[in-house]
């Protein structure tokens, strides 16, 4: 273990509730904070030799970690991988940079196309993984190249067409590789106008979304022909709760947490899915990822 983590920031028995926006989750056996794609590749190779399972996360804004925590190694691609470089109308961004930081850098450079991302609380790597989007924009619109590391430690580089973006999915999710760097192609624009658009979208988020309560963002994917929040609201579920997990009174698409039980949150998700299916005939699919074990053996 000492050789695997030499020169790297590592926490043993890390409480994952500290590393997710839901503020839920039991301990990870090991939590590492690499500073480069090379370090990520080395972690995969060494973990493979040791027979240790590996889980990769970003900022933790789209995750539910269960109460039993995560066995093996968790790699957090975030605070030590935040470099942003500009070349003409392109930004090349390390995967751990927050998407809002990339949007701010684009605005500062007078580059338009990332305004939609200003308030999305995730990393650039995570946003490409799930093709994050809002207000008519998504990562597929701007991404031209993605570099990453395969589970065996081999490096990979995909162009726009190879990324095979879809609604809340991409080749990253299907191939199971870890994003290390993303290049985005943007358009020249007026910095003041870009900032004004970002401020407008952030104000709309603050007005409509429960940003002051722990959540994982939008809990469910948009069903074809419907909006998840509208369905949940129409089924009378605003304020519905299980323990201290609750359907937000402000926005029914957000299931929020004020307690410390992943079990309560998961039961709330399942209850909402069941009731919407019974009353509206629509199946809601979770947008957030579930990681870990319900109990620690």
Q: Is 287 a catalytic residue?
A: yes
Q: Is 218 a catalytic residue?
A: yes
Question: How many other CB atoms are found less than 10 A from the CB of residue 154?
Answer: 12
Q: Active-site residue among 39, 115, 181, 287?
A: 287
Question: How many other CB atoms are found less than 10 A from the CB of residue 281?
Answer: 8
**Residue 293: strand pairing partners:** 69
Angle, helices 191-208 vs 99-108, to 10°: value is: 150
| Residue ranges of E strands in the chain | 9-15, 27-33, 54-57, 63-65, 70-76, 84-87, 90-94, 111-112, 133-134, 137-138, 143-149, 155-159, 178-185, 187-188, 215-218, 241-242, 245-247, 254-257, 289-291
Question: How open is the CA angle 71-76-81, to the nearest 5 degrees?
Answer: 160
Q: Active-site residue among 17, 76, 147, 168?
A: 168
134, 61 Cβ separation under 8 angstroms: no
Q: Active-site residue among 127, 218, 248, 262?
A: 218
Residues 6+ apart with CB under 8 A from 247: 232, 237, 238, 239, 240, 241, 254, 255, 256, 268, 272
- CA R_g for the chain: 19
Residues known to be catalytic: 168, 218, 287
């Amino acid at each position: 273990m000492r050789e695997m983590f030499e020169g790297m920031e590592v926490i043993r028995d890390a409480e994952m509730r500290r590393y997710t926006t839901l503020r839920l989750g039991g301990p990870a056996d090991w939590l590492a904070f690499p500073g480069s794609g090379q370090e990520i590749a080395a972690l995969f190779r060494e973990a493979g030799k040791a027979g240790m399972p590996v889980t990769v996360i970003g900022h933790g804004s789209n995750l539910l970690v269960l109460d039993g925590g995560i066995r093996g190694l968790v790699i957090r691609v975030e605070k030590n991988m935040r470099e942003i470089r500009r070349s003409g109308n392109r930004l090349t961004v390390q995967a751990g940079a927050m998407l809002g930081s990339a949007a701010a850098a684009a605005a500062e450079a007078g580059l338009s196309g990332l305004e939609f991302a200003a308030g999305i609380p995730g990393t650039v790597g995570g946003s490409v993984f799930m093709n994050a989007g809002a207000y008519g924009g998504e990562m597929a619109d701007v991404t031209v190249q993605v570099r990453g590391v395969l589970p065996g430690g081999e490096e990979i580089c995909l162009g726009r067409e190879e990324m095979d973006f879809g609604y809340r999915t991409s080749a990253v999710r299907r191939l199971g590789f870890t994003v290390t760097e993303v290049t985005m192609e943007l358009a020249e624009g007026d910095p003041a106008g870009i900032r004004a658009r970002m401020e407008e979208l952030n104000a709309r988020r603050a007005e409509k979304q429960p940003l002051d309560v722990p959540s994982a963002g939008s809990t469910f994917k948009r069903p074809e022909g419907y909006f998840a929040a509208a369905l949940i609201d129409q089924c009378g579920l605003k304020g519905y709760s299980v323990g201290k997990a609750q359907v937000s009174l402000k926005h029914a698409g957000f299931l929020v947490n004020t307690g410390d039980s992943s079990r309560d949150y998961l039961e709330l998700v399942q209850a909402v899915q069941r009731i919407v299916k019974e009353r509206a005939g629509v199946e809601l699919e979770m947008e957030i990822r579930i990681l870990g074990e319900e109990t620690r053996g």
